[in-house]
Amino acid sequence: MTALLVFLSLILIVVIAIQIGKVTELAAKIRGEEEMQEIINGRQGLYMVIFMIAFLVLTAYTGAVYKNYYLGFGPMQAASAHGGKIDAMFNVTLVICGIVFVITQILLFYYAWKYSGRRTGKAKFIAHDNKLEMIWTAIPAVVMAFLVIRGLDAWNEIMADIQPGEDYLEIEATGFQFGWALRYPGPDGVLGPKNYKLISGANPLGQDWTDERNVDDFHADELVLPKGKKIRVRITSKDVLHNFYLPHFRVKMDAIPGIPTYFVFEPQKTNEEFREQLRNYPEYQVPSDPKDPNSKPKWEVFDYELACAELCGNSHFAMRKTVKIVEPEAYEMWAMQQKSYYLSNIRFKDEDPNKDKLFSAEIEARKEEFAEALDTALITAKKTVQFSYVTFATGSDKLTGVSRYELDNLVDAMKQKSGLKVELAGHTDDTGEDAQNLTLSQKRADAVLKYLRSKGIDASRLSAKGFGETQPVVANDSDENRAKNRRTEFRIVGQ
């Protein structure tokens, strides 16, 4: 029914249109073609001028209404060091083009009206004027030269890469369908290498874990950057083209699979400072949630945003990340709290190629940890120390590679303290047969003893005993607790 009505009204409109058309043809017949054309010329010429006035007035009016969205004005002042240059360039061009726009539009429509045809009128025969052509070739050429020189001056400065000796922070942004992954270099200041073939669920960026530079790299959910420091963003993509776009910082660069790109910029306003910049403008004093009039005003909840500006598929419009610019000290604090992706998600898992060895920092840390535990045992009544890092292959008495680091700590201690005598103890959880558990725990204790002897500790200072499942530290009621009960310990029997 609706379709029918729409269809009928369309037909009606068509009929009316044709009738309107016929009326004027009739008028032309009555009045004579030439007279009618003269009337039309006068009328349409007038419309042209009216249109021009309305057009220019509306341009000025809407320009004033939307002035707070102009690049470089009020709330739209750039938040980066180079942004001001872009905005200035934009505004210089705006002024020049604005002048040309107004003059040419006025001349066009004014002439159309002024020279609208009359029956008695005669057009002037003016075919060309070489002098005029020269003038209006030369003037645009000079203006363009000015804009080109200014523009390129800014461009080359903005796009310059980091110079040797400059202090900067390099981070990495990787676009994917549909989001951004952000990677920071960690304390070493260097982003580790990656290889797209290594990408997996556990390794979303394909970082190469055999390279130590990856060890301290951390991933972040928000782009947090220190104010006043040069940032070099290394921009990469996992799948299709994306574009790393920070509108408030005038930063934009494609992310290309296989070809890393970069953009260097220096944030100059923290989020709080930018909020202060916004708070004076009515556009930002409205509720942030249009459905809730009591929500906080827009300026108060403002955060910088990272967007995608290159069509990348059906959710291209939703690749948002929050950007936070903070004072350098706050940045240092934040960076210290971030956990290395490798150490918290990969270390000692199956996919860790280094699971059989420790990095020097880890060795140091564990040495300290061990020394502390031993010292406590030496001076207190609790004489048992658990090996936190001694592990065996499942179901066997074969020591894993990393176990040696902790055993070496004991070796060093026993070499220092010649009176130290220990009893090595193996414990299991309650799964499996009691007798088997007992044998396994004995074998494991023996394996540790064998290792210590191989390092030159005299057999008289060592003994080994398997306790099976007889001495749980916690009840065997969960996987977690059972793991706690599977352990190797030593007891100080003489010191």
Partner 1 sequence: MAHVANHPMTQEEELIEKLGYDDHFHDHHEGDRYQSNFINTYVFSMDHKIIAKQFLITGMIWALIGAGMSLIFRLQLGFPEESMAWLKPLLGKWIIINAETGMGTLSQDFYYALVTMHGTILVFFVLTAGLSGTFSNLLIPLQLGARDMASPFLNMLSYWFFFLSGMIMLFSLFVSTGPFSGGWTAYPPLSALPQASSGSGAGMTLWLLSLVFFVVSVLLGGINYITTVLNLRTKGMTMWRMPLTIWAFFVTAIIGLLSFPVLVSGFLLLMFDRGMGTSFYLSEIFVGGQALDHVGGSPILYQHLFWFLGHPEVYIIILPAMGLVSEVLSVHSRKPIFGYKAMVYSILAIAFLSFIVWAHHMFMSGVNPFISNFFVVFTLIIAVPSAVKVFNWISTLYGGNIRFTAASMFAIGFVSMFISGGLTGIFLGNSAIDIQQHDTYFVVAHFHIVMGVAAFFGMFAGIYNWFPKMYGRFMNETLGKIHFWGTMIGAYAIFWPMHYIGMAGVPRRYYRFDTFASFSHFDDLNKFITVAAIATFAFQILFVVNFFYSIWKGKKMTTLNPWGASTLEWTTAINPGHGNWAGKIPTVHRWPYDYGKDGKEFISQITPMEEGETPGEH
Interactions with partner 1, residue window 141-180 (CB under 8 A)? 141, 144, 147-148, 151-152, 154-156, 158-159, 176-177
Per-residue x/- marks for partner 1, 15-34, CB under 8 A?
--xx-xxxxxx---------
Tell me the C-alpha distance between 330 and 175, whole Å. Answer: 27
Does residue number 301 form part of the binding site for partner 1 (CB under 8 A)?
yes
Q: Which residues of 223-232 are buried (b: 16+ CB within 10 A; e: fewer)?
A: bbbbbeebbb
Does residue number 5 form part of the binding site for partner 1 (CB under 8 A)?
no
Tell me the C-alpha distance between 275 and 131, whole Å. Answer: 55
Does residue number 133 form part of the binding site for partner 1 (CB under 8 A)?
yes
Kindly state the greatest CA–CA separation across the chain. Answer: 132
Residue 428, SS3? coil
Q: How many residues bind partner 1 (CB under 8 A)?
A: 118
Tell me the C-alpha distance between 399 and 212, whole Å. Answer: 25
Stretches 126-134, 182-190, 223-231, 482-490: which one binds partner 1 (CB under 8 A)?
A: 126-134
Which 183-242 positions form the footprint of partner 1 (CB under 8 A)? 196-197, 199, 206, 238-241
Strands 321-326 and 223-226: parallel
Tell the smallest beta-carbon distance from residue 279 to partner 1 (Å). Answer: 15
Cβ–Cβ under 8 Å, residues 213 and 191: yes
Does residue number 124 form part of the binding site for partner 1 (CB under 8 A)?
yes
72 to 158, 248, 277, 281, 476: CA distances (angstroms): 17, 10, 12, 14, 67
* Other CB atoms within 10 Å distance of the CB of residue 270: 20
Does residue number 76 form part of the binding site for partner 1 (CB under 8 A)?
yes
Stretches 101-109, 221-229, 362-370, 461-469: which one binds partner 1 (CB under 8 A)?
A: 101-109
Stretches 251-259, 384-392, 410-418, 450-458: which one binds partner 1 (CB under 8 A)?
A: 251-259
Which 355-394 positions form the footprint of partner 1 (CB under 8 A)? none
Residue 136, SS3? helix
Which 35-54 positions form the footprint of partner 1 (CB under 8 A)? 37, 40-41, 43-45, 47-48, 51
Cβ–Cβ under 8 Å, residues 323 and 251: no
Stretches 97-105, 164-172, 326-334, 429-437: which one binds partner 1 (CB under 8 A)?
A: 97-105
Tell me the C-alpha distance between 446 and 399, whole Å. Answer: 11
Does residue number 101 form part of the binding site for partner 1 (CB under 8 A)?
yes
* Other CB atoms within 10 Å distance of the CB of residue 216: 21
Query: How open is the CA angle 402-403-405, to the nearest 5 degrees?
Result: 75
Tell the smallest beta-carbon distance from residue 318 to partner 1 (Å). Answer: 5
Does residue number 269 form part of the binding site for partner 1 (CB under 8 A)?
no
Does residue number 109 form part of the binding site for partner 1 (CB under 8 A)?
yes
Stretches 129-137, 185-193, 366-374, 474-482: which one binds partner 1 (CB under 8 A)?
A: 129-137
Which 315-354 positions form the footprint of partner 1 (CB under 8 A)? 315-318, 320
Residues 6+ apart with CB under 8 A from 463: 422, 423, 424, 449, 493
Tell the smallest beta-carbon distance from residue 267 to partner 1 (Å). Answer: 16
Cβ–Cβ under 8 Å, residues 38 and 88: no
Tell the smallest beta-carbon distance from residue 80 to partner 1 (Å). Answer: 11
Does residue number 274 form part of the binding site for partner 1 (CB under 8 A)?
no
